[in-house]
Structure 1
Amino acid sequence: MKTTGIILAGGKSSRMGTNKALLDLNGRKVIEGIVEKLGDITDEVLLVTNTYADYEFLQVPMIGDHWREMGPLAGVEAGLTASKTEYNLIVACDMPFISVELGRYLLACLDESQAAVPQIDETSHPLFAAYRREVLAEVRKSLEKRELGMWRFLKKVEAKIITKDVLASLGLPNEEQYFFNMNNREHYQRAIHFINNNCGE
């Protein structure tokens, strides 16, 4: 089964004050590391962004939001629309430490579910999650109704919630950094700390 990795890079990075996807970590841009890891997980990688010029250096296919100013769900819609595969792994552009092993497991869960979403310590992570392309119709319905919450959408599809206990039982990683996303400067400093302590390897 062919798979696609979809990176969502449509946010404004207002809390960071600069484009967080282009920040430097360990000598390269955050988004470069995500592209590399998705290349190890999926057959194709594409980027959802409304600023193509910022990411031309990545040399990956890009698609813009069809539903402007409507948050991550609009990015999911654009990515799934552009995807040529049924199985897709969606990752936010500010998650530098995603796990290759976990990404592969989430995609495998799509054999029996329409979506697979980690939930660690009662916090769900719908932007490091796997989705069948068939959920696209439900995504569009939610956008049409202006129901933009990712969790609200997930309740409308057959989503498998992957808890910390499930990951532990399978011997899969669930360390904090795999679900870490950088929203502000403090988070960026924490990411640098992870790198300096060999936690981001």
Structure 2
Amino acid sequence: MPLNLIPKSQVTGIILAGGKSSRFGSDKALFEYHGKRLVEYSIDNIKLLCGKILLSTNSPEKFDFTGLKAVTDLYPGSGPVGGIHACLQQSNTEHNLIIGCDLPWLDIRLFEFILGCSSGYQVVMPSHNGFKETLASYFHKSCADTLEQALREKRYKILDAIASLNVYFPDIESEDFYSEKLFSNINYRRDIQ
């Protein structure tokens, strides 16, 4: 797979940090793990590939330390679909990388791979072991209208919201950057022990 052929200036990173973190017990995006907040791992994973990074959150003041533009949902309470939609509306680029705030073990090579697969697709969502990774993916800006329609219809599951789009689910298990831990997310404090 070729490395990122899309210039950095043409790619926006979208970090989803608007979740309630109810299982975690506090805002997990701000939780410090090995000297860095979880949201900082997400920033580091995409900053080399993105000219601009947007942060989806309904508590912008909590993330002032990042220096990123915070974007609040246009459809409150709609989960990741609402966050992606709001950020696509604010994005100035056609190409957008999506990353959750609780995935510290992701590898930049995954995002290089995703961008390398993006030509001709509206969404690229890696898959492995039968799972589709919705929170480490690529969305073309043209998806915004379809996501808005899904939000109006209260379809808040990402896979339902993108069902009518041109989506590619590349299997990444044979890629050299793949590991079982790659997509391990943090929902409970015990997940980081």
Question: How far does residue 188 in structure 1 lie from its aligned partner after superposition?
Answer: 2.5
Which residue is 1:7 aligned to? 15
| Structure 2 residue aligned with 1:142 | 150
Secondary structure of 1:164's aligned partner:
coil
After TM superposition, give the deviation of residue 79 of structure 1 in Å. 1.2
Note the C-alpha offset of 1:25: 1.3
Report what 2:185 is aligned to.
181
Alpha-carbon distance, 1:101 to partner: 1.0
Shift of 1:107: 1.8
Partners of 2:39 and 2:15 in 1: how far apart?
9
Q: Residue 16 of structure 1 contacts residue 184 of structure 1 at CA under 8 Å; is this kept in 2?
A: yes
Q: Distance in 1 between matches of 2:168 and 2:39?
A: 27
Which amino acid is the alignment partner of residue 92 of structure 1?
G
Higher normalized helix content (fraction of residues):
1
How many angstroms apart in 2 are the aligned matches of 1:24 and 1:120?
A: 28
The match for 1:130 among 132, 138, 141 is 138
Pair 1:68-2:72 in alignment? no
Q: Deviations over 1:16-70 (max 9, x none)?
A: 0011111111111111121122111222111011101110000111110110011
Q: In structure 2, how many angstroms separate the alpha carbons of the residues matched to 1:174 and 1:143?
A: 33
1:42 aligned onto 2:50? yes
Query: Letter of the aligned partner of 1:67 in structure 2?
Result: Y
SS in 2 for 1:182: coil
- In the alignment, structure 2 segments of 5+ residues that lack a partner are 1-5
Q: SS of 1:163's equivalent? A: coil
**Match status 1:82 vs 2:90:** yes
Q: Secondary structure at the match of 2:21?
A: coil
TM-score, normalised to structure 2's length? 0.91
Question: Where does 1:73-112 land on structure 2 (aligned, <5 Å)?
Answer: 73-112=81-120
SS at match of 2:118: helix
Q: Which runs of 4+ in 1 moved over 6 A?
A: none
1:127-165 CA deviation, whole Å, 9 max, x = no partner? 100010001111001001111111112221110001135
TM-score of the superposed pair, with normalisation by structure 1:
0.88
Count of residues in Structure 1 that have an aligned counterpart in Structure 2: 185
Distance in 2 (CA, whole Å) between partners of 1:98 and 1:89 is 13
Identity, % of aligned positions: 28
Q: Which of 21, 24, 29 is equivalent to 2:32?
A: 24
CA distance in 1, matches of 2:12, 2:33: 25
The aligned amino acid for 2:127 is Q
